[in-house]
A and B are shown apart, each in its own frame.
Chain A
Amino acid sequence: MSERISLDETRKVAKLARLALSDDELERMRGDLDGILDWMAALAKLDTAGVDPTFHAVEMVTPLRADEVREGLRHSEALRAAARSDQGGFAVPKVMEGE
């Protein structure tokens, strides 16, 4: 059986998804994904020529909101949920420019 997704690709996807996986977990994940993708390959046989994709199953139009200020969250309530906060801001590990 040909490989549908390589370990390297799996690693790239994990980085893209910001999931830190150990080597064992990566290998297992690759296997899981491979099985699922293999099984999904049948979908390729479905003839969809000229068919538009469905993004919303029920036909609808985005309703629009009036430009009026509404009360939001209290500052203290919002920050209480944060892992760390400082000077009224959400504190996060140092962000490098362009990271």
Chain B
Amino acid sequence: MTTRYEAVIGLEVHGQLHTKTKMFCGCSTAYGLPPNTAICPVCLGLPGALPVPNRQAIALAVRAGLALGCTVRQSSRFARKNYYYPDLSKGYQISQFDLPLNEKGHLDITTSAGTKRVGITRIHVEEDAAKNLHGAGAGTDTLVDFNRAGTPLIEIVGEPDLRSAEEAEAYLRALRDVLMFTGVNDGNLEEGSFRCDANVSIRPVGQEKFGTRCELKNINSFKFVRKAIEFEIARQEALVSSGGKVVQETRTWSSTQEKTLSLRSKEEAQDYRYFADPDLPPLVVDDAWLAEIRVSVPEPVVARRERWQRELGLTAYDAQVLTSHPRIAEYFEAASASLERALGGKLSRDKAGKRVANFIQAEALRVVSTSGLDASFPCSAERIAELLALVEDETINGKIAKDVFVDMVATGKAPKDIVAQKGLAQVKDSSAIEQTVRDVVAKHPKELASFKAGKAAVKGFFVGQIMRALKGANPALVNDVLERVLAEG
């Protein structure tokens, strides 16, 4: 009988806190600056320099904790993690160790198997290291850029509750959503502001004790996370099944070789000599500040999706698409609220929501671009509402609306102005329509005669003539009036 194994996976995620300046100094955190141009005595670890924490970074870290159901430790402690590496300017990283800022949270994930709650052990604040530019220097040099050194991070340590690569990916995506929707992190994997390490082990199904784990370092895309974990599970199963033993070690994912490779074994593991940072007294989040931060935590993205389905007539798919980015979600909410207001209750809320959702998905998203937590929209949400209001009150039809939107994007003009300038408004006045209908019918006695003789298709000829004369009108109205006039005749 062959033994069946299950995987045990825990993720450690580093998320950059979305601040203007670094964790312990006033240097900019802007991405992509020339090397070593956002540095100061503090982040460069010059003799005599001292750290002072960034209030906004702490607020964001607490916000993340609250959004992930953590208990916030109102007096936490900074600790030094000591090791040598050229990207570490002080010979230690300021982090938190025995008294982290947030503890005991959770995150619900959904996979093909359903919904599952995954535990979060802790979320602490720390500073990022500099960037080693390998192979960039002359000959054998490594070049170090300290612009990133000291960037504020949270480390989110997950419980080993995940059992498959699929769950791991779902967890990461859900976590990214939460962090982006709380404004804590910009979710940018390419720029490294959202990074993941995975602890992977296997054990025979039914066994409670964990197997020996391997740590997979720095896997920087959702695709690679899944592949790396799948590979690692398979590697460990093959190893154990053939009588081998998993060695505790740090491994890395090679995307070119599509496999995990050993970096260092436990024997070479560091002794970090953590101790309370004497430069930083206790970090206190008092009741008033905590309450203030609590109020700033927005509605959870999962709850928002559910509400939209319930109240705004969206499908699960619509809700998912419109929450692909926090700014898009806000845009949608603003546009549908604005449309509802503009129509003064003439359209039920769910219908207004559905119309806006359809239009944004079909037209607007094509011209929206996102970068980190920012997004640029072709026009304001209110303009979208104005445009859709014109459709709703039958000033223009849906097809014209698309053309008007193209114009809005190109010129930045208000939909009303475009419709007026281009004469796109449908004639809604039935007396005006009736006059035109009578004129057109009167001008074409031959066609009238053939209609009367039973050639129903001639009606189409009249509609065409009338529409041309009106330069746009509600086709249904035109039809009604025409039928009445022809019947008279």
Direct touching of A and B (C-beta under 8 Å) = yes
Using a CB–CB cutoff of 8 Å, the interface residues on chain A facing chain B are: 16, 18, 55-56, 60-73, 75, 78-79, 84, 86-95, 97-99
User: Which secondary structure dominates where chain B touches chain A?
Assistant: loop
- Pairwise interchain contact B281-A62, C-beta atoms closer than 8 A: yes
Please, what's the 1-or-0 string for B17-46, where 1 marks a CB less than 8 Å from any CB in chain A? 001110001111000001111111101100
Please, what's the 1-or-0 string for B125-139, where 1 marks a CB less than 8 Å from any CB in chain A? 000000011101110
- Pairwise interchain contact B27-A67, C-beta atoms closer than 8 A: no
CA distance A84 to B87 in the complex (A): 15
CA distance A37 to B25 in the complex (A): 38
Using a CB–CB cutoff of 8 Å, the interface residues on chain B facing chain A are: 19-21, 25-28, 34-41, 43-44, 52-58, 77-78, 84-87, 132-134, 136-138, 140-146, 250, 252, 263-264, 271, 273, 276, 278, 280-284
User: Which 7 pairs show the lowest CB-CB distances between chains A and B?
Assistant: A70-B26, A89-B143, A72-B40, A98-B263, A67-B56, A64-B55, A88-B35
- Pairwise interchain contact B39-A72, C-beta atoms closer than 8 A: yes
Q: Which residues of A contact B55 (CB under 8 A)?
A: 64-67
Q: Which residues of A contact B28 (CB under 8 A)?
A: 69
- Please name the residue on chain A nearest to B139 by beta carbon: A94
- Pairwise interchain contact B86-A95, C-beta atoms closer than 8 A: yes
Q: Which residues of A contact B53 (CB under 8 A)?
A: 62, 64-65
- Pairwise interchain contact A67-B57, C-beta atoms closer than 8 A: yes
Question: CB within 8 A of B21: which of A68, A73, A88, A93?
Answer: A68
Given that A61-B282, A89-B144 are contacting pairs, would A72 and B25 also be in contact in the complex, using a CB cutoff of 8 Å? yes
Question: CB within 8 A of A94: which of B34, B140, B280?
Answer: B140
- Pairwise interchain contact A94-B141, C-beta atoms closer than 8 A: yes
CA distance A16 to B82 in the complex (A): 9
Question: CB within 8 A of A97: which of B20, B145, B252?
Answer: B252
CA distance A98 to B230 in the complex (A): 22
B280 nearest CB across to chain A (Å): 5
- Pairwise interchain contact A90-B284, C-beta atoms closer than 8 A: no
14 additional A-B pairs beyond A91-B137, A98-B252, beta carbons within 8 Å, are A61-B282, A69-B26, A75-B34, A86-B143, A87-B137, A88-B34, A88-B35, A90-B36, A90-B143, A94-B142, A95-B85, A95-B142, A98-B250, A99-B85
Given that A73-B39, A93-B142 are contacting pairs, would A67 and B132 also be in contact in the complex, using a CB cutoff of 8 Å? no
- Please name the residue on chain A nearest to B52 by beta carbon: A65
B289 nearest CB across to chain A (Å): 9
B269 nearest CB across to chain A (Å): 11
- Pairwise interchain contact B142-A92, C-beta atoms closer than 8 A: yes
Given that A68-B21, A68-B26, A90-B143 are contacting pairs, would A73 and B44 also be in contact in the complex, using a CB cutoff of 8 Å? yes
Q: Which residues of A contact B143 (CB under 8 A)?
A: 86-92
- Pairwise interchain contact B37-A92, C-beta atoms closer than 8 A: no
CA distance A70 to B252 in the complex (A): 37
Q: Which residues of B contact A55 (CB under 8 A)?
A: 77, 276, 278
Given that A56-B281, A62-B280, A65-B54 are contacting pairs, would A92 and B144 also be in contact in the complex, using a CB cutoff of 8 Å? yes
- Pairwise interchain contact A69-B21, C-beta atoms closer than 8 A: yes
Q: Which residues of A contact B21 (CB under 8 A)?
A: 67-70
Q: Which residues of B contact A67 (CB under 8 A)?
A: 19-21, 54-57
- Pairwise interchain contact B34-A68, C-beta atoms closer than 8 A: no
- Pairwise interchain contact B281-A92, C-beta atoms closer than 8 A: no
Q: Which residues of B contact A75 (CB under 8 A)?
A: 34, 36-37, 39
- Pairwise interchain contact B271-A16, C-beta atoms closer than 8 A: yes
